[in-house]
Amino acid sequence: MTSPSQAAAAGAGGSSPLDPLNITPDGGGDSGKLVGRSPGQLMWRRFKRDRTGVISAFIVLFFLLVAVAAPLISKLYGKDPTTTYGLDRPGLLNEFGYPIRPNGGISGDFWFGIEPTLGRDVFTQLVYGIRTSLLIAAIATLLCVATGVLIGVTAGYIGGRTDYFLGRFIDLLLAFPSQLSFVAFTPVVYSLFVSPEKETPTYLRVMTLILVLWLLGWMGMARLLRGQVLSLREREFVEAAKVTGASPWRIITKELLPNLWTPILVQTTLMLPTMVTVEAGLSFLGVGIVEPTPDWGRMFKAGADYYESDLTYIFFPGIAMIIFVVAFNLLGDSVRDAFDPKTNR
Amino acid sequence: MLRFLARRSLGALVIILLISAITFFLFFALPSEPALMSCGKNCTPDALAVINKNLGLDQPVPVQYWHYMTGIFAGRDLTVGHCPAPCFGYSFSNQQPVWGTIVDRYPTTLSLALGGAFVFLIVGVGFGMIAAARRGTVVDKLFSSLSLIGNSLQIYFVGVIALGLFVSGGLRILDEPGYHPFTENPGKWFMGMLLPWLVLSIIFVANYTRMTRSQMIEQLGEEHVRTARAKGLSRRAVFFRYAWRGALAPIVTIFGIDLGSLFGGAMITEFTFNLHGLGRLAVSSVTETDLPTLMAVMLVGCTAIVVANIIVDAAYAFIDPRVRLA
Amino acid sequence: MTSSHQNRARLAAVALAAGALVLTACSGGGGGGGDGKESGPATDKNKSSNFTIGTEADSKGPAPAVPGAKKGGAVTVLQRDAFNHLDPGQIYYSDMLTAQMLYNRSLTAYKVEPSGKAKVVGDLATGPGTASDGGKTWTFKLKDGLKFQDGSPITSKDVRWGIERLYADFETDGPMYIPQWLSGDGTSFRKALPDGPYKGDHLPASVLDTPDDKTVILHFRKPHADTPFATAMPNIGAVKAAKDTQRKYDNAPFSSGPYQVADFKVGKSLTLVKNPNWDPATDPIRHQYADRFDVSFGHQLQDQTRRILAQQGADKNAMSFSNAVDPGMTQNVLNDAGTKARRFVEIQPYVDYISFNMTRLKDVKVRKALAYAMPNGQILQQNGGTTAGTIATNYLSPAMDGYQATDPYGKKAHPAGDTEKAQALLKEAGKIGQEIVYAYRNTDVEQKVAVVVTQALQKAGFTVQKKEVDANTWRTAISQVDNKFDIYRTSWGADWPVPSTVVPPLFDGRQIADGSQNYGHLDNPKVNSEIDRINAITDIKQAAPQWMKLADKILTEDVPGIPTFYNRQFSLWGSGLGGIKYQPVYGTVDPTSVYVK
A172 to B264: CB separation less than 8 angstroms, yes or no: no
Give the gap in angstroms from C-alpha B180 to the nearest C-alpha of chain A: 23
* Predicted confidence (pLDDT) per residue in B267-286, tens digit: 888 888 888 888 888 888 88
Check residues A202 and B268 and name the one with the higher pLDDT. Answer: B268
Minimal-distance CA residue of chain A relative to C303: A308
pLDDT, tens digit, for every residue of C372-414?
A: 999 999 999 888 888 889 999 999 988 888 888 899 999 999 9
pLDDT in tens, A223-257: 888 888 888 887 888 888 888 888 888 888 888 88
**Cα distances (angstroms) measured from residue C319 to each of A6, B176, C23, C312:** 40, 16, 20, 13
Whether B154 sits inside 8 A of A192 (CB atoms) is no
Burial (CB count <10 Å: 0-12, 13-18, 19+), residue A187:
buried
In CATH, what number does C346-569 get? 3.10.105.10
Q: What would the pLDDT profile of B188-216 be if each residue is shown by its tens digit? A: 888 888 889 988 888 888 888 888 888 88
Using the predicted structure, report yes or no on whether residue C33 has a pLDDT greater than 50.
no
Pairing of strands C51-53, C130-132: unpaired
The confidence score (pLDDT) of residue C293 equals 95
Identify all chain A residues contacting C470, using CB atoms and an 8 Å cutoff: 187, 191
Cβ distance of B152 and A3 shorter than 8 Å: no
Give me the pLDDT at residue C153, please.
94
Q: Which residues in chain C touch residue A119, judged by CB atoms under 8 angstroms apart?
A: none
Answer whether residue C196 shows pLDDT above 80: yes
Percent of chain A's residues with pLDDT above 70: 85
Mutate to test the interface with B, among A1, A283, A315 (most CBs of B within 10 A): A1
Query: What confidence score (pLDDT) does residue A74 get?
Result: 86
- The residue extents of the domains of chain C are 346-569
Biggest CA pair distance of chain A: 80
Which chain A residue has the Cα nearest residue B281? A180
pLDDT of res. C289: 94
Q: How confident is the model at residue A340 (pLDDT cuts 50, 70, 90)?
A: low
Spell out where C459-575 has E strands: 463-469, 487-493, 561-572
Write down the pTM of the prediction: 0.81
The pLDDT of C170-180, averaged and rounded, is 86
Dihedral angle computed from the Cα positions of residues B107, B112, B117 and B123, in that order, rounded to the nearest 10 degrees: 140
With a cut of 50, say whether residue C277 has pLDDT above it. yes
Q: Chains contacting C with at least 3 CB pairs below 8 Å?
A: A, B
- Closest alpha carbon to A3 in B224, C163, B154: B154
What pLDDT is attached to residue B55? 72
Q: Please count the other Cβ atoms lying within 10 Å of the Cβ belonging to residue C432.
A: 13
- Mean of pLDDT values over A74-103: 82
Distance, CA of B164 to CA of C352 (rounded, Å): 33
Question: Is B96 close to C267, i.e. CB distance below 8 A?
Answer: yes
Identity of the highest mean pLDDT range in A84-98, B234-248, C55-69: C55-69
Average pLDDT of chain B? 80
Share of chain C above pLDDT 70, in %: 92
Q: Which helix (H) or strand (E) holds B310?
A: helix B291-319
Q: What is the DSSP letter of A201?
A: P
From the list C331, C450, C477, which residue is nearest A98 (CB)?
C331
* CA–CA separation, C388 and A6 (whole Å): 39
pLDDT exceeds 50 at position A4: no
Least Cα separation, residue C401 to chain B (angstroms): 23
Q: Report the chain B residue with the minimal C-alpha distance to residue C14.
A: B41
Distance of CA C288 to the CA centre of its chain: 25
Task: State the pLDDT confidence band at C43, using cuts at 50, 70 and 90.
Answer: low
Does residue B43 have a pLDDT over 70? no
Q: Of the given ranges (A125-129, A323-327, B15-19, B231-235), which has the lowest mean pLDDT?
A: B231-235
Q: How far is CA A114 from CA A14, A111, B163, C38, in A?
A: 43, 9, 22, 25
Q: Which range among A41-45, A151-155, C156-160, C304-308 shows the weakest confidence by mean pLDDT? A: A41-45
Query: What confidence score (pLDDT) does residue B309 get?
Result: 84
Residues of C with CB under 8 A from a CB of B: 1-2, 7-8, 10-12, 14-15, 82, 84, 92, 169-170, 172-176, 186-187, 247-248, 250, 265-268, 298-300, 302-303, 306-307, 310, 470-473, 475-476, 514-515
**Amino acid at the residue A18:** L
Residues of chain A in contact with residue C40, where contact means CB-CB under 8 angstroms, are: 95
Strand-strand pairing, B81-83 and B76-78: antiparallel
pLDDT in tens, C418-468: 999 999 999 998 888 889 999 998 888 888 899 999 999 999 999 998 888
pLDDT tier at B320, thresholds 50, 70, 90: low
Select the more confidently predicted residue: A258 or C235.
Answer: C235
- Give the β-pairing of C561-572 and C389-391: antiparallel
Complex ipTM, two decimals? 0.81
What is the rounded average pLDDT of the residues A253-268? 82
What are phi and psi for residue B196, nearest 5 degrees?
-55, -40
DSSP helix/strand/coil, A94: coil
Contacts of C89 in chain B (CB under 8 A): none
**Neighbouring residues of C587: CB distance < 8 A, sequence distance ≥ 6:** C3, C20, C94, C322, C346, C348, C349, C350, C493, C567, C569
Highest mean pLDDT among A85-94, B168-177, C50-59: C50-59
Q: pLDDT at position C139, please?
A: 94
What band does C12 get if pLDDT is binned at 50, 70 and 90? very low
Residue A267: DSSP 8-state: H
Which among B31, B42, B81 is the nearest to C176, CB-wise? B42
CA distance C189 to chain B (A): 12
A-chain residues near B210 (CB < 8 A): 20
Residue B30: what pLDDT?
67
pLDDT digits (tens, 9 = 90+) for B111-122: 999 999 999 899
Is residue B155 pLDDT above 80, yes or no? Answer: yes
CB contact under 8 A, A19 and B169: no
Order of strands across the sheet that contains C118-122 = C51-53, C118-122, C108-112
Q: Rounded to whole angstroms, how far apart are CA atoms C592 and C583? A: 10
User: For B71-118, what is each residue's pLDDT tens digit?
Assistant: 888 777 776 667 777 888 887 777 778 888 888 888 899 999 999 999
pLDDT above 70: residue C557? yes
